[in-house]
A and B are shown apart, each in its own frame.
Chain A
């Protein structure tokens, strides 16, 4: 009898612990798409907001945060904690491939850091175009992510376009004669530098692929000993796999808005980070122009949207993306959500599928509000359903639907 009671008690304890099991989701990957992901993460909680979030002022630009609450429709009364640490598209895929643990923030401010392997990552490019092509993941396209080239405050306003062939040479050399970009022989003695991201970056993968570039780029940036002097980036970043270059689009944007920079420079950005360089007409969440001659410039003769003149106006809050939609502007990619393909019906799978629809809803809301919503901000990505063309691979040919 005593034995039976003991077993029953243990069973009761087990049942209780099962009922109270928390759901933990660990998100990593793309920095370029983090604004959309942040909003979708928040929206999935009951009432459209988590009960707690650390840091308390986390927003669409935050790269590391943890949110907690309940999602009744998905997990009933279970406590759901979403850990997010965006570290780059390719790095996220590598983490899934190699079972690499990342460091996340504790939901309790000041609490111990949480270490875990990410369960869901975002990538700006298809895994097949990356060094993690063999990652055993389920991959789903969730949006069209436009990329752009930005000029810094010191770049002459006559630099309004860059071609793929110029970029090939610019990346190979790191710097070229400025007149090659302005067309003015007075600029023969000037220098155009190029900056960029490390190999963790999907933006870098997409930029290189779209310009048919296969080399090892020489990239310029700033360091703490010479914060205003363009210097060839020459250190691998600790904790990441590879590459000289900025580890986030946000950091690159800071470099591209340095008013004291030692000369002209251009670099690629996801549109959301580009807005911090060029300014946005969004009234809900205005993004200030980086100053000087900062602007988005055309690529291969086309801007990603209409009704914008480099340097003359901020980027429209809801840009007319016709050049992308119709296939004229090619520097874009499919934003992908990834998880290990072993998840087929568990809590991770549930969250994954919910996030796919949640992101499309987020894009729709940004458009419905004309890009002027303080919640949804400017429109910086396109819904898949808007496209009238498609491409089979990153940087690959574009064909009409």
Chain B
């Protein structure tokens, strides 16, 4: 008896649900509440179809300068040379105008980005390859002196200003910064224009996603990147009290631990200019 009632209830439920669904379709055009969603008081917009790669108008080139991972949140630092070299610092899922950072692969040094409606994968710009290998100490030097020595015989650490990675304390968990071109985005005098003495100076720019010449970063951008790279490299030393933290720059990633930020601010005035 009880089983019959259950079966009846189930059939009734199916009928009601099916009918409602049909009603929602058939009554859609005459729905009196439809005007509410049409008003879109929250400014919602319907999802736009995203083109993949074969757009006829190619979007502006992007130069990926850095990837940061801060407490599991991934950020990318990039610029659009065509847009007066405007720099962007976006987290995953964040957008600025027609640019949206879709995802960051910090291990591979890649980002996926929606660039003016075109989804692109952009790799970190590569630093210029060093052209001269460092001189190695002779066997005689090593034999006669327990400590390595410099060219003039001054006792040296294992590596002048660049000890083995294991020598430095580890950075705090969750803080890492990676910039293209190492920490020293090389930039010579006058950046292609005529220097005050007519010399050209040396200049190299990090390449990026298959585009031609990239506009050199302004001096304060180069200096900021260098400093952020140094901040990351010294995080362990600062944490252990063996070094002072570097000052804040316009490129200091959000969420950088407070103890890694020293007094003073650098380059913000230059940024405003």
> Which residues of A come within 8 Å of B, CB atoms?
31, 54-55, 58, 61-65, 85-87, 103, 105, 109-110, 113, 154-158, 172-179, 182-184, 186-191, 215-216, 218, 220-240, 244-248, 250-251, 254, 260-264, 293
Contact = CB atoms under 8 A, between A and B. Distances in A.
Contacts of A184: 195-196
Interface stretch (B60-68, B70-78, B87-95, B182-190): B182-190
B219 A158 contact: no
Contacts of B52: none
Given A223-B161, A235-B161, A254-B151, A156 B187 contact: no
Interface centre among B152, B183, B193, B216 (most CB of A within 10 A): B152
A190 B155 contact: no
Contacts of A236: 237, 242-243
B99 interface: no
Contacts of A179: 196
A293 B195 CA distance: 13
B131 A239 contact: no
B187 A224 contact: no
Main SS of the interface on chain A? Answer: loop
Contacts of B153: 55, 58, 61-65
B184 A226 contact: yes
Contact-residue bracket for chain B: 35 or more
A223 B201 CA distance: 21
B47 interface: no
Contact of A238 (B134, B149, B163, B266): B163
Nearest to B193: A186
Interface in B145-165: 145-147, 149-163
Given A64-B153, A226-B127, A231-B229, 13 more contacts: A64-B145, A154-B188, A174-B227, A182-B197, A189-B187, A218-B230, A220-B226, A227-B134, A236-B237, A239-B155, A247-B150, A248-B152, A254-B150
A220 B195 CA distance: 22
B150 A173 contact: no
B150 A191 contact: no
A177 B242 CA distance: 30
B3 interface: no
Contacts, number: 243
30 contacts: A55-B153, A63-B154, A64-B145, A103-B155, A113-B145, A154-B201, A156-B196, A156-B199, A172-B264, A173-B266, A177-B270, A178-B190, A183-B196, A184-B195, A186-B190, A189-B193, A190-B187, A191-B222, A220-B226, A225-B182, A226-B182, A229-B181, A229-B186, A231-B184, A233-B161, A235-B161, A235-B234, A237-B161, A238-B158, A263-B188
A117 B41 CA distance: 79
Nearest to B194: A186
A308 to B, nearest CB: 18
A262 B196 contact: no
Contacts of B193: 186, 189
Contact of A103 (B147, B168, B244): B147
B160 A178 contact: no
B228 to A, nearest CB: 10
Given A62-B153, A232-B229, A190 B190 contact: yes
B261 interface: no
Nearest to B168: A235
B65 to A, nearest CB: 15
A178 B127 CA distance: 22
B152 A229 contact: no
A110 B146 CA distance: 10
B254 interface: no
Contact of B223 (A87, A174, A235): A174
Nearest to A109: B144
B196 A63 contact: no
A186 B190 CA distance: 6
Given A190-B187, A262-B187, A228 B130 contact: yes
Contacts of B152: 61-63, 248, 250
